[in-house]
Amino acid sequence: MLDQSPTKIVYKVAIQSTVGVELSWDSFFRNSAQGQGYQPPPSLGGPGKNEVALTSLLPTLRGGIAGVSTLDDKIIEDHLAVQAIIRSYQARGHLVAKVDPLGIMYQDRSTTITERQGSPPDEVIRQHKLNDTDMERVFKLPSTTFIGGKDSSLPLKEILKRLELSYCRHIGVEFMFINSLEQCNWIRKKLESPGAGQLTNDQKRLILARLTRAAGFEGFLSRKYTSEKRFGLEGCEILIPAMKQVIDKSTELGVESIIMGLAHRGRLNCLANVCRKPLVQIFSQFAGLEAADEGSGDVKYHLGTYIERLNRVTNKNIRLAVCANPSHLECVSSVVQGKTRAEQFYRGDGEGKKENKMYFTDSFADVARVVNAPIFHVNSDDPESVIHVCNIAAEWRATFKKDVVIDIVCYRRNGHNENDEPMFTQPLMYTKIKKTEPILEKYSQQLIADGVVTPAEVQDVKEKYEKICEDAFASARKETHVKHKDWLDSPWSGFFEGKDPLKVGPTGIKEETLVHIGNRFSSPPPNAAEFLIHKGIERILKARMDMINNRVADWAIGEAFAYGSLMKEGIHVRLSGQDVERGTFSHRHHVLHHQTVDKATYNPLCHLYPDQAQYTVCNSSLSEYAVLGFELGYSMTNPNALVIWEAQFGDFSNTAQCIIDQFISSGQAKWVRQSGLVLQLPHGMEGMGPEHSSARPERFLQMCSDDPDYFPPESDDFSVRQLHDCNWIVANLSTPANVFHILRRQIALPFRKPLILMYPKSLLRLPTARSSFDEMVEGTEFKRIIPDDEADPAKVKKVVFCCGKVYYDFKKERDAKNMQNDVALVRLEQSGTCPKEVKKKN
């Protein structure tokens, strides 16, 4: 910078003058000193929140060098350098923080990097350096740091020490990318305030007790089941006290429900010591016992649970759920989010005050930065720092209703599982791990040295938990069966009670209900004179009204009849997917848009009845894997809701195959978890290329049942029993009436099954693919098979079984050749179960 630059001249005037400079220059210099970019000039009202006039620095700056009464360039530059150094530690301190438990750790709570190496770390301060002679100089602290406490100025040496104690010990935090000064200052205050993170002796004893249980559980399993895989938590035992602390603090702040998603490592420990799953049930899973109920079950480290219990720390009730998860470690994350969102919806918790979600993964930083979520890296072998971070995270979520990431940096004492030898591939690391003392022993010795506990107290806590485990182990050896339902993560209280398990409720409705819904669905907004809709939409609404007047329904109307009638009965309907509001093929138009007012919309299905249930329709991003997992989690929460995910084209479900295979098709067999989720997959070879044609129905048919040759005994409830015994229902429909009935049947069934619906394309507008109201009124039901009413059975030479749009293609060709009496076209609407019945009858 030139010595006589205009900017520097004005800066010096701003500092020296008793009058100051024009406010916009004062704003510019203040923001530059705090490391921020340009902001608009302030009002004439003076400095705002978290701001201080630059001229207020005058006394400190003038007194910074003895014997100098006027400011020179070095004083200005030195002061700016201190401001930049403070910001550098806040932004880059995490780069040098000692968060690796296998690396060099601090053995006390006062040593810093500068004291160790004789100078501040270059990775942090970079070019912002001062001389050693400046260390005793006093500098005024900006409003964006809280290291001073009640002091507004500190010597440079003390500034560096306090910054390093806050940002460069066993906690490294990334937060300066957050575009909110209020939120950044909130985090600064939590980390920088003198005395932050200090715990009472009672809190330290609680950490020790929880660590003892976490380590004791793993030790007990390793002794009793030496050859069993359990994916233990050794090396990260602090996870258990950390989770419990998040729960404690969250319940204190009003959270009533916490939903967790975990990989397999540490799951059993979490179930035992966080959720307090009965140890007898956990130990029984190691015995290889037969199940007392239906289902294949799953390995113990994939299972979930649901617990309602009293939090003894806060004396408040808390609901805890751990979602079952396959070996696809991170796929449960979206399921947890969907389940949490549903809990919030049904409890009226729009801001997320009462429900919380936690899930554990190994890739998060970039995603967290995108959503402005702070990231706390913390050393797993410093329990008190971990607990401090957990308190901050819980308070952050309660204060700002935003995500937060805790990265507990730990190690794995054993191999991938207990039978693996990690020295094969990581000899140097595991040589060090073998020499690393377990955290329980480290922390016990620390508390004994500090006089917090005695050796006798430490031993007493260990022996008490060992006895608890031994008693449970003895009881588990007396068990003769296991129960899969004990591990259900989403129980539906009262849903199955008092019902005939094979009786389906009626799906036909009164014609006056059809007419009412049809009229509302076909009408413009009530304030049509003010709400300008597109001319094309006007034509669509008029065509719909004509059909209603003629007592017929196309596909969009049949679907609307199902949704509207269910909402009339109090059933929440949720439809999500790509372009679902309009419909991929521009046939649905559930959300009408004002043509001259941005974001002004009208949804006719939300205004059918004054006391109807809510209708949610929302376009989703092009991430089928995440969105389908979310909707599955949503469907798990409440059985009395119709949750639908629609792919833009059927083969887009390829991207969500993990959710389809590992959760939806096998969820009930593995985890006794039912779901009525509907997948609508547009299907048909209609000239749109290989990617937009087949929904691959053969894949779904293959997964309908474990045994394709199994045939239920014939009885009056044969068709319902078929649905009960399959993994899911697969259908390729040919009439709007059948789509109306099958969607309503999802709620009318006494159980819940996923429905895989091959959704049509050309049939959406095909004039012959319409249904009369007579096919949807009371007394009608879903037609699994639609016989050919035009063919004369006595003259038929060939019977062709078909489904979906192929029926109309065949019929057109048959009629063109005048072969109505030679060929009968029988439609198999429900492909997954009908062939067995047809084969039996023929």
List, for residues 818-842, the tens digit of each pLDDT value: 998 899 999 999 987 654 555 555 4
Q: What is the CATH number of domain 201-487?
A: 3.40.50.970
- Burial of 627-659, coded b for 16+ CB within 10 Å and e otherwise, reads bbbbbbbbbbbbbbbbbbbbbbbbbbbebbeeb
Q: How far is CA 180 from CA 143, 173, 530, 561, 646, in A?
A: 15, 16, 39, 47, 37
Split at pLDDT 50, 70, 90, the class of 778 is very high
pLDDT of residue 7: 53
- In the chain, domain spans: 6-192, 201-487, 511-775, 785-841
Query: Quick check: 358 and 266 in contact, CB under 8 A?
Result: no
pLDDT of residue 601: 95
In angstroms, the CA 568 to CA 510 distance is 12
In angstroms, the CA 791 to CA 4 distance is 100
Q: What is the CATH number of domain 511-775?
A: 3.40.50.12470
User: Does residue 289 or residue 508 have the better pLDDT?
Assistant: 508
Split at pLDDT 50, 70, 90, the class of 580 is very high
Domain 201-487 and domain 511-775 have a common topology? yes
pLDDT surpasses 50 at 170 = yes
Q: 329 forms bridges with which residues in the sheet? A: none
pLDDT of residue 498: 87
Short-list 764, 754, 627, 622, CA closest to 682: 764
The beta strands (E) that lie in 683-754 are given as 729-731
Split at pLDDT 50, 70, 90, the class of 194 is very high
In angstroms, the CA 307 to CA 321 distance is 6
pLDDT of residue 23: 60
| Least-confidence region, from 456-470, 481-495, 703-717 | 703-717
pLDDT of residue 115: 79
In angstroms, the CA 559 to CA 557 distance is 5
Short-list 678, 700, 698, CA closest to 634: 678
| Least-confidence region, from 40-49, 131-140, 373-382, 787-796 | 40-49
User: Does residue 291 or residue 707 have the better pLDDT?
Assistant: 291
The beta strands (E) that lie in 684-740 are given as 729-731
pLDDT surpasses 60 at 667 = yes
Q: List the structure tokens of 134.
A: 């400046």
Residue with tokens 């209900």: 513
In angstroms, the CA 786 to CA 779 distance is 17
Element (H, E) at 174: strand 171-174
pLDDT surpasses 70 at 210 = yes
In angstroms, the CA 518 to CA 520 distance is 6
Task: Give me the sign of the Cα torsion angle 40, 45, 50, 51.
Answer: positive
Q: List the structure tokens of 214.
A: 């976490």
Indicate the pairing of strand 798-802 with strand 375-379.
Answer: unpaired
Split at pLDDT 50, 70, 90, the class of 341 is very high
| Least-confidence region, from 60-74, 89-103, 166-180, 528-542 | 60-74
Query: Quick check: 246 and 357 in contact, CB under 8 A?
Result: no
pLDDT of residue 254: 93
Torsion of the alpha carbons at 388, 391, 392 and 393, rounded to the nearest 10: 120
pLDDT of residue 61: 46
Q: 406 forms bridges with which residues in the sheet? A: 376
Split at pLDDT 50, 70, 90, the class of 728 is very high
Length of the chain, please?
A: 842
pLDDT of residue 116: 77
Residue with tokens 């299972």: 303
pLDDT surpasses 70 at 19 = no
Residue with tokens 């204060």: 399
Exposure of 500 by Cβ count < 10 A (0-12 exposed, 13-18 middle, 19+ buried)? exposed
pLDDT surpasses 70 at 516 = yes
Output the pTM of the full model. 0.87
In angstroms, the CA 479 to CA 471 distance is 13
Q: List the structure tokens of 128.
A: 């912002």
Short-list 569, 564, 574, CA closest to 341: 574
The rounded mean pLDDT for the chain is 88
**Other CB atoms within 10 Å distance of the CB of residue 297:** 20
Q: List the structure tokens of 664.
A: 């939806």
Split at pLDDT 50, 70, 90, the class of 266 is very high
Q: For a pLDDT cut of 90, what percent of the chain falls above it?
A: 69
Split at pLDDT 50, 70, 90, the class of 443 is very high
pLDDT surpasses 90 at 119 = no
- Summarize pLDDT for 671-681 with one digit per residue, the tens: 999 999 999 99
Q: 577 forms bridges with which residues in the sheet? A: 619, 646
3-state secondary structure of 115: helix
How many CA atoms, within 13 angstroms, populate the side-chain half-sphere of residue 211? 26
Split at pLDDT 50, 70, 90, the class of 134 is confident
pLDDT of residue 412: 93
741 residue type, one letter: H
- Summarize pLDDT for 585-606 with one digit per residue, the tens: 999 999 999 999 999 999 999 9
In angstroms, the CA 561 to CA 509 distance is 10
Q: For a pLDDT cut of 70, what percent of the chain falls above it?
A: 89
pLDDT surpasses 80 at 43 = no
pLDDT of residue 840: 54
Task: Give me the sign of the Cα torsion angle 683, 684, 685, 687.
Answer: negative
